[in-house]
């Protein structure tokens, strides 16, 4: 029996499919999972099954248990605000799961790349991430449910921070210290992949997907990860509205910080943003759209300077240049 036939059987066992012909319609975009859309008895659903090896050029192994981390994050986030994550309908063998398909919701990355840049939406993203952080800060249950440090190290700390450190003796001490600091902080539930390609744009605001890297850790990471994407796209497009969107994201996030001093987390987030930005030009997973050498130069120059002389993420965003002129 093929793997796809297995999935159909499993969905039948879960009561989501009747008899008759079923079409698994692959959804594009993912490198780490099989993702299909299926017409089910309860309407369109998405089935997601983690792959043991990511589909990227460099070898990159990842334990399939991350599928279960994602389910836990989606459920926990819906507990905070039912509008910000899709409903999980069933857990399936092999850490696969089914969730409700959200119709008519474009991926935020596609909107941004098409020049539809909405700062109010970026602010809602900041509010949504901060709401999950605030609700889970200093929570022993969440700390126990998301003790995924090994996974976070393999999928985030190592490829994004330590990979660059290994290839850059000059910045290695700062990046290694940053990686240690990140790994040591257990403050709130981190999504781990807050990228515009993992956010759907609904009429009611952002819907967060793809929480395979969820960990109880430093919330500064999520803000940094998302800010990084907006600032890279600002260089790629030269569009000032992306700087404005990044500023709106950070300001809205800041307004939601109630678990620690805002100055502390914004500085940690600024350091992480600088490191993640550099990782997107010189790291293991470079941003696919940053191919122009001039763009890379603009990004690399600023990121290196910011790693040496860190700024809080709000100041970093304000000072971020789209060109060197
Ligand atoms: N519940 C959903 N409703 C609508 N589209 C979805 C849903 N879940 C995933 N998608 C689409 O599938 C794509 C891949 O899903 P994602 O969870 O990000 O998987 P991957 O880990 O492979 O990136 C998303 O970018 C989005 O376009
Ligand atoms: Mg994704």
pLDDT tens digit sequence for 132-173: 999 999 999 999 999 999 999 999 999 999 999 999 999 999
Q: What is the pTM of this model?
A: 0.96
Residues 6+ apart with CB under 8 A from 94: 49, 50, 64, 67
User: Mean pLDDT, the chain, as a whole number?
Assistant: 94
Residues 219 and 188 sit within 8 Å (Cβ to Cβ) = yes
Residue 243 scores a pLDDT above 70:
yes
Q: Are 3-100 and 108-319 in the same CATH fold? A: no
For residues 277 and 319, the answer to whether their CB atoms sit within 8 Å is no
Backbone conformation region of residue 221, classed left if phi is above 0, alpha if psi is from -120 to 50, else beta: alpha
**Ligand 1 nearest atom to the CA of residue 31, by list position:** 22
Q: Is 86 in the pocket of ligand 1 (CB under 6 A)?
A: yes
Rounded to the nearest whole angstrom, what is the distance from the C-alpha of residue 197 to the centroid of ligand 2?
6
Model confidence over 96-125: pLDDT tens digits? Answer: 999 999 999 999 999 999 999 999 999 999
CATH architecture label of 108-319: Alpha-Beta Complex (3.90)
Ligand 1 atom with the smallest distance to the CA of 103 is 4
3-100, which class in CATH?
alpha beta
When pLDDT is averaged across residues 84-102 and rounded to a whole number, the result is: 97
For the ranges 22-26, 208-212, 226-230, 310-314, which has the lowest average pLDDT? 22-26
Return the residue whose CA atom lies nearest to atom 8 of ligand 1: 46
DSSP annotation of 156: I
Q: Which two tokens stand for residue 8?
A: 């159909």
Residue range 252-266: mean pLDDT, rounded: 98
DSSP 8-state secondary structure symbol assigned to residue 93: G
How far, in Å, CA of 71 to CA of 87, rounded?
Answer: 9
Return the bridge partners of 61, or none: 53
Nearest CA to ligand 1 atom 20: 30
Indicate if the pLDDT at residue 1 is higher than 50.
no
Q: What is the residue extent of each domain of the chain?
A: 3-100, 108-319
Which of 43-57, 75-89, 246-260 shows the lowest per-residue confidence on average (mean pLDDT)? 43-57
| 117 CA to centre of own chain | 19
């Amino acid at each position: 029996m093929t793997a796809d036939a297995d999935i159909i059987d499993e969905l039948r066992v879960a009561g989501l499919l009747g008899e008759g012909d079923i079409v698994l319609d692959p959804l594009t975009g993912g490198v780490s999972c099989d993702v299909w859309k299926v017409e089910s008895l309860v309407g369109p659903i998405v089935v997601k099954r983690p792959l043991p090896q990511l589909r990227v050029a460099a070898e990159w192994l990842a334990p399939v248990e991350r599928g279960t981390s994602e389910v836990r994050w989606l459920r926990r986030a819906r507990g905070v605000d039912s509008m910000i994550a899709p409903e999980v309908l069933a857990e399936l063998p092999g850490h696969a799961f089914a969730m409700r398909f959200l119709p008519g919701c474009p991926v935020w990355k596609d909107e941004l790349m098409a020049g539809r840049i909405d700062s109010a939406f970026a602010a809602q993203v900041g509010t949504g991430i901060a709401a999950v952080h605030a609700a889970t800060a200093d929570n022993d249950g969440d700390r126990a449910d998301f003790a995924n440090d090994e996974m976070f190290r393999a999928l985030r700390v190592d490829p994004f921070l330590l990979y660059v450190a290994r290839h850059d003796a000059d910045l290695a001490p700062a990046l290694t210290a940053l990686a240690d600091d990140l790994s040591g902080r257990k403050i709130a539930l981190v999504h781990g992949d807050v990228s515009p390609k993992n956010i759907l744009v609904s009429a009611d605001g952002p819907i967060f997907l793809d929480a395979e890297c969820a960990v109880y850790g430093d919330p500064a990471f999520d803000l940094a990860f998302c800010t990084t994407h907006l600032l890279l796209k600002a260089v790629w497009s030269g569009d000032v509205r992306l700087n404005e969107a990044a500023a709106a994201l950070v300001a809205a996030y800041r307004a939601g910080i109630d678990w620690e001093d805002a100055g502390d987390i914004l500085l940690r987030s600024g350091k992480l943003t600088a490191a993640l930005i550099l990782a997107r030009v010189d790291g293991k997973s470079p941003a696919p759209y940053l191919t122009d050498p001039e763009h890379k130069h603009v990004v690399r120059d600023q990121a290196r300077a910011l790693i040496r002389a860190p700024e809080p993420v709000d100041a970093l965003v304000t000072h971020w240049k789209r060109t060197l002129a």
